[in-house]
Chain A
Amino acid sequence: MHESVVAGELLRTVEERARAAGAARVIAVGVRIGALSGLVPEALSFAFEALQVDTFVAGAVLDIERVEALCQCELCGLVFPVEESKRRCVACGIPAPFVPNSDCLLLTRVEVE
């Protein structure tokens, strides 16, 4: 996967925002990762820690909020978590699409001082 590319973008954005806010250092970074995003949280953490060494963001902790993959039935509106290959609505039996948030890859907050 390309967690290192994502970590690189993350570090770059965090440094930009932190400097713009006049911060001396970054304490923590919050991200939200959807189960469908294709990213492995552990790999992202690893890349984040490795790439921050000797940079402005060094020492910042990455806080990952995982969002599970959910489906919503287009007929009855039921929202349910996805298991394996079971994506049919339990009430209606028809295949249900994923809710939009399931593949999110968001930077939610930067804690600075």
Chain B
Amino acid sequence: MIRPASGEEHHSEHSHASGHPHRHFDETTGTWFEHEHASKSQPSVIELYEPILARNDRLAERNRGFFEAHGVRALNLMSSPGAGKTTLLEKTLTSLPAGSAAVLVGDLATDLDGRRLDGRGAQVLQITTGTACHLDAVMVAEASRQLHWEGLKLLLIENVGNLVCPASFDLGESQRVILFSVTEGEDKPLKYPPVFHRADLVLVTKTDMAAAAGFDRELALENLAIAAPHARVIELSARTGEGMDAWLAWLQG
């Protein structure tokens, strides 16, 4: 007769409803003894309170530390598709000291934007996400490995054109710049609270088209004061050059 030597062996000898006391006959001592099995199915709760995107946040912090250690200011540029991010960057790169800036461009497909920015004195890397509607810290970390950091002062990250999803993903940037064009309507800031409420700078673009679009400037600025109360606002036109001085001054300040 096999005597139970340990709890584990005992469990494997027989099965029974867990958590209930029962009696075994011990042949050595000739006695009945009772025991309870520690129930294997005892529900327990693990309390957490941790961000679901903690893994992205951790990597973003690592990116942030890396950029700061290299003296590089990283900017996350977000907007709806077509607000003018790439055109603004075309004009911007031409005005910055050669070699002082690098650009990471995010798109679902094509390297068209990346190629538009080539040859303007900055390192340009295209990130094609495939299906992802936003850039995340992993993509930025991997792309950053291909950059040369000597002499770099500015890292401009052109996010995927999307005013919703990018808001949830910290990339490790120093600041967030949101673009919205006069053709998108003055209520835009109110419609996209998450992205506007974390903006450090808002650029109102394509001001040269404001009259044609019937843009209500006063209302737009009022809405921005509500949706992005802590953001600086600069109105500009990359095409005519209006406001570009203020933008460049902010960039290099």
The reply on B230 being an interface residue by CB < 8 A is yes
On chain B, the residues within 8 Å of A1 by CB distance are: 133, 164-165
What's the Cα separation between A107 and B54 when bound, in Å? 10
Verify B51–A107 contact, CB threshold 8 A.
yes
CB-based nearest B residue for A23: B44
- The minimal Cβ–Cβ distance linking A24 to chain B, given in whole angstroms, is 7
What's the Cα separation between A38 and B168 when bound, in Å? 8
The reply on A67 being an interface residue by CB < 8 A is no
Interface residues of A in 1-44 (CB under 8 A from B): 1-2, 5-6, 9-10, 13, 17-18, 21, 23-24, 27, 31, 36-39
The reply on A98 being an interface residue by CB < 8 A is yes
- The minimal Cβ–Cβ distance linking B234 to chain A, given in whole angstroms, is 19
Verify B193–A69 contact, CB threshold 8 A.
yes
The reply on B6 being an interface residue by CB < 8 A is no
What's the Cα separation between A88 and B226 when bound, in Å? 7
The reply on B45 being an interface residue by CB < 8 A is yes
The reply on A59 being an interface residue by CB < 8 A is no
What's the Cα separation between A2 and B56 when bound, in Å? 14
The reply on B190 being an interface residue by CB < 8 A is yes
Of A6, A17, A18, A88, which one neighbours B52 at CB under 8 angstroms?
A: A6
Of B41, B51, B54, B226, which one neighbours A85 at CB under 8 angstroms?
A: B226
Interface residues of A in 59-108 (CB under 8 A from B): 69, 82, 85, 87-88, 95-98, 103-108
On chain A, the residues within 8 Å of B42 by CB distance are: 113
Q: Which of B45, B48, B52, B194 has the most CB of A within 10 A?
A: B52
Verify A105–B46 contact, CB threshold 8 A.
no
What's the Cα separation between A100 and B135 when bound, in Å? 23
Size category of the binding interface on chain A:
35 or more
Verify B43–A105 contact, CB threshold 8 A.
no
What's the Cα separation between A85 and B41 when bound, in Å? 50
Verify A36–B48 contact, CB threshold 8 A.
no
Verify B52–A113 contact, CB threshold 8 A.
no
Verify B43–A111 contact, CB threshold 8 A.
yes
Of B51, B193, B225, B227, which one neighbours A106 at CB under 8 angstroms?
A: B51
Of A31, A39, A108, A113, which one neighbours B43 at CB under 8 angstroms?
A: A113
Verify A38–B164 contact, CB threshold 8 A.
yes
The reply on B90 being an interface residue by CB < 8 A is no
- A105-B51 contact in complex given A2-B134, A24-B41, C-beta closer than 8 Å: yes
Q: Which of A23, A38, A96 has the most CB of B within 10 A?
A: A38
Verify B229–A103 contact, CB threshold 8 A.
no
- A97-B197 contact in complex given A2-B134, A37-B168, A38-B165, C-beta closer than 8 Å: yes
Other A-B contacts than A103-B197, A107-B48, 8 sampled, CB-CB below 8 A, are A2-B168, A6-B168, A24-B40, A69-B193, A85-B187, A105-B51, A110-B46, A112-B44
Chain A residues at the B interface, C-beta cutoff of 8 Å: 1-2, 5-6, 9-10, 13, 17-18, 21, 23-24, 27, 31, 36-39, 69, 82, 85, 87-88, 95-98, 103-113
> Which 4 residue pairs are nearest across A and B when measured between Cβ atoms?
A95-B226, A113-B43, A110-B46, A85-B190
